[in-house]
Amino acid sequence: MIALLIRDLRLAMRAGGGFGLGLAFFLIVTVLVPFGVGPEGTLLARVAPGVLWLGALLACLLSLDRIFALDHEDGSLDLLATAPVPLEGVVAVKACAHWLTTGLPLTLAAPALGLLLNLPGPGYGWLTLSLAAGTPALSVIGAFGAALTVGLKRGGLLLSLLVLPLYVPTLIFGAEVARRGAEGLATATPFLLLAGISAGTLALLPFAAAAAIRINLR
């Protein structure tokens, strides 16, 4: 499992679809928002939590199709499916690799980008905590979507259409945590719901993704 994780991390770096592309997209979204809504500090502070969460979510989409596509193209996925290692574990490792190369860098970069949107001081910590709790769900849900579309030609658009509706609860509660934290309100309820979504996806979706891969490889 550790060897597979290291392999996926190296592939993400070499293929150009890892943290660099996601961070660049996240930066572009953050820079363009003030041009669209105006430079007023109060307005930017109001929309900053939602914009930062939406930017992180869309940045995660950029590399989802690479989770299984490269392995399917070179035949490695067939070998992994017949290996003594459980396929559910393989899915979990690949989702973890995606989070380490996409979700974690976005989480660490979000506070710095929050400065561009005039995010209130109390919101920085809660923004980071909400992304740390919510981005694992984005990676696992993305791995499930990638498993459903593996082997399909030009499946990137279909993957986005499948995954985006599943991302909505994570986006709602994640942005709510950041918003309430920035305004000094209670954050316990949305944060627990966000953590529950991540825990639920981590517990259930690797099995669903593994079943989808087995069906697609038949």
Compute φ and ψ for 208, nearest 5 degrees.
-65, -40
Q: In the predicted model, is pLDDT for residue 41 greater than 90?
A: no
Q: In the predicted model, is pLDDT for residue 159 greater than 90?
A: no
For the question of whether the overall pTM of this predicted structure is more than 0.85, the answer is yes
* Chain mean pLDDT for the chain: 89
The per-residue pLDDT for range 69-97, each reduced to its tens digit, is 777 877 788 788 777 888 899 999 999 99
Quote the pLDDT of residue 18. Answer: 59
Q: Give the whole-angstrom CA distance, residue 181 versus residue 97.
A: 29
Quote the pLDDT of residue 138. Answer: 95
Kindly list the distances between the CA atom of residue 145 and the CA atoms of 26, 37, 68, 120, in Å, as whole numbers in the listed order.
Answer: 22, 33, 10, 35
The per-residue pLDDT for range 185-207, each reduced to its tens digit, is 999 999 999 999 999 999 999 99
Q: Give the whole-angstrom CA distance, residue 149 versus residue 212.
A: 9
Angle of helix 19-37 relative to helix 41-61, nearest 10 degrees, comes to 150
Q: Give the whole-angstrom CA distance, residue 59 versus residue 103.
A: 9
Kindly list the distances between the CA atom of residue 159 and the CA atoms of 16, 135, 171, in Å, as whole numbers in the listed order.
Answer: 19, 18, 18
Q: Where are the alpha helices (DSSP H) in 16-122?
A: 19-37, 41-61, 66-74, 76-82, 87-98, 104-114
The per-residue pLDDT for range 113-136, each reduced to its tens digit, is 999 999 998 999 999 999 999 999
Domain limits of the chain? 2-217
